[in-house]
């Protein structure tokens, strides 16, 4: 009997030994490999102010609010504080690490007059400031599958008082025990038995960490035993500081939509928009109090409970003489103040373009797990204006709530994407029409047809007479094609200029056939078109499908007289330690004669003054250039145009391709106008060239 | 085979000019070690290489012109055509371009390009900024991009023949690297015609 027992004991011990080895492997693998999958953090473009910069008070306020700068009544000494009086803003910016260096926190007095920065001074010395760069606003993260988000903190960067506070509340004997603290367990047991319910926990920080990293939340004996064993093994392998640091970065502290807030580093940003080292003691106490229950003590949703819990923490600190009773009283009397933080993931259409660009250099695993810092081109104010334009104008165009829209705004000279809207509900994370909806572009194609004529034929000028009479196109492989003008009428001969202004169909088709469809296609590609353009004559009327982004690429080339800049939404990428990984430089190419583009552009200006878009000249205060586009049966309404500082493309239509009642000018152009009214500051001027001259011609015969 | 000879010759010519030993890219204030004592040996070497080159290929105006180099005035790190515009609105631009010029001197080309791109976000039509990007593209081995940047600068510098001439010199150098003879000589002609201004 004794022998059997002995054999069984030895067998059990051996099995237990194997089990311990298994647990040990689990623990060390996680710690010695990558502990967390760190999401990429994506940032908007930083606002830069300089004397002369066009900016309204409305935009300035938007930018300050967007960056969660706090308005104060006195001189702002702390970063991210400002005060305003009349036209003046006294601001202390946040320091920030950019891809091109560190920008220190700076104090400035900025005066905005007549929609421009008129003066920038150092408030203390009165010296002028030439350039002021704000921190870049956080947009969103690209999360791992489990949607955890965190901002890593190093234990050396965590304030000493915070560590003491945390250990006081959660694990006073942290530096003395070996992962499990029998005294705490016993104390908790007594407290719970005497009160008849669970009032106290006996778990150490190490046990809590193990539970979060490896185990489930189920309250079973086996899970508790595993937790204890693994805590012990963790302590065996790793020093206390590493375990504590890991805990600081792992603890769950709330939810933001589908994003889980892990770690005190991110929590301090999320609730207070400050670094952990910048928090006040009362704010630290709020976060430490949340460890017991992040949802239960959420300072935004449960402010009273959160305040009570904070006061418990402060009381404990006072008892242990970490703070004086007087300090405790002052801190307890402070109102709970958290920042109004917009949900991450606000700009799904734009973020799509970011992922699209990054996926050329990074696989999606790296994007979700390597903790990259991605600096984008998004202009939050322009994005806001674009979204508002779509949301307010679309219901006025049609009561049908399935009418959809997409809008893209691009910087003409750098090709940077400033805003992208992919749905009539811009925050909706669904089909991104700006990137993925390829729709017939209609008359947006005509400027390319006439540009091809200027490029490839000496016999065409803007004064050339084009035939607007009935045309029958015959092809042995298909039935006859009889294109129609919009008004179903024919107007005889007219100049190329007039044909473009009035968007006549027949002259465009005749010109494309005469010049050669392959030439038109070549010019379209040179100007930024990427898709396969059909080789049928109907291509001249835009029976070729493109996405709004692709159209933006083409009209960006028009805006710069033929210098195409590949559109991009990312400027630079840093790794988790702020080391540069990738830089996406400005790039341009040109394969057309800028003078010919300039000629077409002069006509596109007149489209907005005398042509199909003439209402723009009445409603906008600056000169712009652009083109309306309407596809067959009014299924697609487009407008593409530009000022000197912005190119915008808008599309409206139904996803199921049924006819709308909208032309380019009665539909998309209205959204375009609403965007450009706020966004475009510099008028488009046709580039002067010594080799070009203006001349009056007779509209009837095209002669001087 | 011709291109390495040309590049070596370009370097040696630059050595003679500045009295320096091998320095890195021509964007340099001339602070290289070596002194003028080596220039005689370098001259001999250059003549030898030239002689070999000419005897192998025959002498034509085109081929000798390909041994051109972007000259930098000794002690300066800026081209005159890049002189700053002194006006209130350009203060921010001048600060950034000063920083960019210092970075170019240190051959921190990416960092310099970052500064210049910030300028373009303020004034996209600033021709001297595009001109700098053209020069940078040459230094970083992107001659095609250099040509486009120079052309962009020229399209914005209609009233500035000095800057246009500088840009055409970049185009000429890039065309040399690309072995595009037609473009090379067109650039030459443009430079000559702009001298009249």
Cα–Cα distance measured from residue A208 to residue A203, given in angstroms and rounded to the nearest whole number:
6
List the structure tokens of A609: 């003054």
Find out whether A233 and A177 touch, Cβ atoms under 8 Å: no
With an 8 Å Cβ cutoff, is A699 touching chain B?
no
**Closest residue by Cα to residue A577 from A99, A18, A55:** A99
Domain spanning A41-140: which superfamily? Penicillin-binding protein 1b domain (3.30.2060.10)
- pLDDT for residue A460: 94
The CB-side HSE value for A241 (13 A sphere, CA atoms) comes to 7
- pLDDT for residue A190: 75
Q: Which residues of B touch A44 (CB under 8 A)?
A: none
**A-to-B residue pairs, Cβ atoms closer than 8 angstroms:** 74
List the structure tokens of B100: 């960019």
User: Between B89, B96, B155, which is nearest A52 by CB?
Assistant: B89
List the structure tokens of A674: 């609403």
With an 8 Å Cβ cutoff, is A594 touching chain B?
yes
Q: Where are the domains of chain A?
A: 1-33, 41-140, 147-332, 387-402+438-645+664-679
Q: At what angle do helices B161-177 and B127-139 cross, to 10 degrees?
A: 20
| pLDDT tens digits for range A393-407 | 999 999 999 999 999
Q: Assign 3-class secondary structure to A434-451.
A: HHHCCEECHHHHHHHHHH
Q: Which residues of A touch B118 (CB under 8 A)?
A: 48
- pLDDT for residue A345: 62
Beta bridge partners of A109: A90, A121
SS3 assignment, position A237: helix
List the structure tokens of A670: 């209205």
Classify the C-alpha dihedral A304-A310-A314-A319 as positive or negative. Answer: positive
Catalytic residue among A170, A416, A455, A550: A170
With an 8 Å Cβ cutoff, is A111 touching chain B?
no
Q: Which residues of A touch B145 (CB under 8 A)?
A: 587-589
**Higher-pLDDT residue of B140, A39:** B140
Region of poorest pLDDT, from A410-419, A487-496, A553-562: A487-496
Query: Does the domain formed by A147-332 have CATH 1.20.1090.10?
Result: no
Percent of chain A, pLDDT > 90?
A: 61
Q: Residues near A252 by Cβ (< 8 Å), separated by ≥ 6?
A: A212, A260, A261, A262, A294
Length of chain B: 197
Angle at A314 between CA A311 and CA A319, to 5 degrees: 125
Find out whether A557 and A481 touch, Cβ atoms under 8 Å: no
The CATH number, out of the four listed (3.30.2010.30, 3.30.70.100, 3.40.710.10, 3.40.50.170), of the domain defined by the range A387-402+438-645+664-679 = 3.40.710.10
Find out whether A451 and A665 touch, Cβ atoms under 8 Å: no
- pLDDT for residue B19: 36
Q: Are the beta carbons of B145 and A561 separated by less than 8 Å?
A: no
List the structure tokens of B35: 């002194």
Q: Are the beta carbons of B121 and A414 separated by less than 8 Å?
A: yes
Cα distance from N-terminal residue to C-terminal residue, chain A: 122
Q: Are the beta carbons of A588 and B118 separated by less than 8 Å?
A: no
Cα pseudo-dihedral B57, B63, B64, B67, rounded to 10: -110
- pLDDT for residue A215: 67
Blockwise average pLDDT, block size 10, chain B, 197 residues = 39 38 29 39 52 45 35 52 77 92 91 95 93 95 96 92 95 95 94 85
pTM of the model: 0.78
| pLDDT tens digits for range A285-324 | 999 999 989 999 999 889 999 999 999 999 999 999 999 9
Active-site residue flag, A535: no
List the structure tokens of A3: 């022998």
Q: How far is B186 from chain A (nearest CA, A)?
A: 16
Q: Following DSSP, what letter does each residue of A16-67 receive, concatenated?
A: HHHHHHHHHHHHHHHHHS-S--BPEEEE-PPPEE-TT-B--HHHHHHHHHHT
Q: How far is A38 from chain B (nearest CA, A)?
A: 27
Q: Which residues of B touch A48 (CB under 8 A)?
A: 118, 121-122
List the structure tokens of A457: 């034929």
Find out whether A132 and A93 touch, Cβ atoms under 8 Å: yes
Q: What is the average pLDDT score of chain A?
A: 89
Alpha carbon A586 to its chain centroid, in Å, reads 20
| pLDDT tens digits for range A146-167 | 566 777 788 888 999 999 999 9
With an 8 Å Cβ cutoff, is A692 touching chain B?
no
Alpha carbon A116 to its chain centroid, in Å, reads 26
List the structure tokens of A630: 């309407």
Q: Tokens 């499908």 belong to which residue?
A: A545
- For residue A576, count other CB atoms closer than 10 A to its CB: 13
* B41-62 burial: b if 16+ Cβ within 10 Å, else e: ebeebbeebbeebeeeeeeeee
Cα–Cα distance measured from residue B26 to residue B3, given in angstroms and rounded to the nearest whole number:
17
- pLDDT for residue B72: 40
- pLDDT for residue A143: 64
Active-site residue flag, A170: yes
Find out whether A107 and A124 touch, Cβ atoms under 8 Å: yes
Length of chain A: 704
Q: Which residues of A touch B98 (CB under 8 A)?
A: none
- Name the band, by pLDDT with cuts 50, 70 and 90, for residue A584: very high
Percent of chain A, pLDDT > 70?
A: 93
Find out whether B140 and B174 touch, Cβ atoms under 8 Å: no
With an 8 Å Cβ cutoff, is A590 touching chain B?
yes
Cα–Cα distance measured from residue A278 to residue B79, given in angstroms and rounded to the nearest whole number:
47
Find out whether A48 and A120 touch, Cβ atoms under 8 Å: no
**Mutation for testing the B interface, residue in A44, A55, A102, A413 having most B CBs under 10 Å:** A413
């Amino acid at each position: 009997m004794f022998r059997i027992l002995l054999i069984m004991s030895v067998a059990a011990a051996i099995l237990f030994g194997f089990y311990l080895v298994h647990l040990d492997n689990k623990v060390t693998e996680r710690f010695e490999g990558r502990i967390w999958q760190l999401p990429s953090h994506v940032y908007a473009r930083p606002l830069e102010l300089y004397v002369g910069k066009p900016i309204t008070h409305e935009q300035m306020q938007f930018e300050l609010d967007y960056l969660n700068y706090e308005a104060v009544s006195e001189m702002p000494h702390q970063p991210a504080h400002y005060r305003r009086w009349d036209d003046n803003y006294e601001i202390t910016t946040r320091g920030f690490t950019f891809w091109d260096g560190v920008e220190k926190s700076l104090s400035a007095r900025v005066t905005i007059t007549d929609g421009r920065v008129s003066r920038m001074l150092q408030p203390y010395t009165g010296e002028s400031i030439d350039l002021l760069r704000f921190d870049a606003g956080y947009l969103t993260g690209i999360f791992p599958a489990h949607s955890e988000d965190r901002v890593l903190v190093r234990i050396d960067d965590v304030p000493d008082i915070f560590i003491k506070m945390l250990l006081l509340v959660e694990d006073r004997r942290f530096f003395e025990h070996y992962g499990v603290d029998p005294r705490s367990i016993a104390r908790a047991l007594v407290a719970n038995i005497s009160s008849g319910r669970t009032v106290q926990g006996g778990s150490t920080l190490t046990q809590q960490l193990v539970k979060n990293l490896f185990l489930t939340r189920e309250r079973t004996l086996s899970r508790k035993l595993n937790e204890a064993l693994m805590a012990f093994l963790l302590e065996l392998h790793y020093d206390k500081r590493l375990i504590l640091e890991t805990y600081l970065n792992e603890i769950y502290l709330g939810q933001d939509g589908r994003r889980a807030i892990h770690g005190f580093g991110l929590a301090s940003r999320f609730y207070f928009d400050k670094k952990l080292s910048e928090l006040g003691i009362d704010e630290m106490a709020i976060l430490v109090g949340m460890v017991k229950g992040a949802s239960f003590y959420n300072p935004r949703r449960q402010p009273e409970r959160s305040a009570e819990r904070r006061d418990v923490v402060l009381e404990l600190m006072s008892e242990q003489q970490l703070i004086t009773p007087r300090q405790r009283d002052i801190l307890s009397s402070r109102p709970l103040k958290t920042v109004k933080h917009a949900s991450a993931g606000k700009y799904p259409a734009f973020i799509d373009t970011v992922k699209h660009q990054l996926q050329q250099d990074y696989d999606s695993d790296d994007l979700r797990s390597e903790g990259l810092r991605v600096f984008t081109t998004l202009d939050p104010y322009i994005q806001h204006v674009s979204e508002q334009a779509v949301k307010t104008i679309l219901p006025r165009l049609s009561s049908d709530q399935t009418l959809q829209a997409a809008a893209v705004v691009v910087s003409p000279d750098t090709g940077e994407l400033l805003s992208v809207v992919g749905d009539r509900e811009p925050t909706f994370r669904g089909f991104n029409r700006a990137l993925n909806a390829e729709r017939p572009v209609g008359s947006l194609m005509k400027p390319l047809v006439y540009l091809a004529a200027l490029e490839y034929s000496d016999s065409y000028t803007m004064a050339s007479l084009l035939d607007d009479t009935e045309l029958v196109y015959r092809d042995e492989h298909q039935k006859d094609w009889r294109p129609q003008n919009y008004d179903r009428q024919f107007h005889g001969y007219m100049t190329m200029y007039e044909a473009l202004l009035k968007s006549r169909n027949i002259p465009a088709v005749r010109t494309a056939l005469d010049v050669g469809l392959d030439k038109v296609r070549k010019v379209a590609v040179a100007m930024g078109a990427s898709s396969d353009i059909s080789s049928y004559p109907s291509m001249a009327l835009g029976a070729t499908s493109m996405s709004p982004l692709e159209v933006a690429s083409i009209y960006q080339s028009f805006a710069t007289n033929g210098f195409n800049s590949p559109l991009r939404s990312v400027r630079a990428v840093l790794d988790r330690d702020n080391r540069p990984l990738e830089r996406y430089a400005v790039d341009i190419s040109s394969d057309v004669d800028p003078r010919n583009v300039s000629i077409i552009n002069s006509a596109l200006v007149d489209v907005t003054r005398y042509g199909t878009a003439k209402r723009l000249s009445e409603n906008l205060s600056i000169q712009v250039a652009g083109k309306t586009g309407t596809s067959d049966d009014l299924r697609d309404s487009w407008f593409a145009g530009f000022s000197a500082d912005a190119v915008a493309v808008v599309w409206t239509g139904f996803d199921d391709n049924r006819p709308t009642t909208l032309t380019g000018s009665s539909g998309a152009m209205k959204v375009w106008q609403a965007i450009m009214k706020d966004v475009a500051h510099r008028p488009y001027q046709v580039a002067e060239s010594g080799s070009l001259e203006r001349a009056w011609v007779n509209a009837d015969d095209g002669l001087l | 085979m011709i291109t390495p000879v040309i590049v070596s010759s370009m370097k040696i010519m630059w050595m003679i000019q500045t009295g320096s030993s091998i320095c890195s890219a021509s964007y340099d204030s001339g602070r290289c070690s070596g002194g003028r004592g080596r220039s005689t040996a370098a001259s001999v070497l250059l003549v030898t290489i030239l002689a070999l080159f000419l005897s192998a290929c025959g002498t034509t105006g085109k081929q000798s012109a390909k041994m051109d180099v972007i000259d930098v005035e000794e002690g300066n790190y800026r081209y005159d055509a890049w002189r700053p515009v002194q006006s209130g609105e350009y203060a921010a631009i001048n600060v950034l371009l000063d920083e960019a010029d210092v970075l170019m001197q240190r051959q921190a080309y990416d960092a310099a390009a970052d500064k210049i791109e910030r300028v373009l976000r303020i004034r996209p039509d600033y021709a001297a900024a595009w001109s700098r990007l053209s020069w940078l593209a040459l230094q970083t081995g992107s001659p095609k991009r250099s040509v486009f940047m120079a052309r962009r600068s020229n399209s914005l510098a209609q009233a500035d023949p000095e800057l246009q001439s500088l840009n055409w010199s970049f185009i000429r150098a890039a065309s040399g690297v690309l072995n595009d003879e037609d473009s090379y000589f067109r650039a030459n002609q443009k430079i000559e015609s702009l001298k009249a201004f």
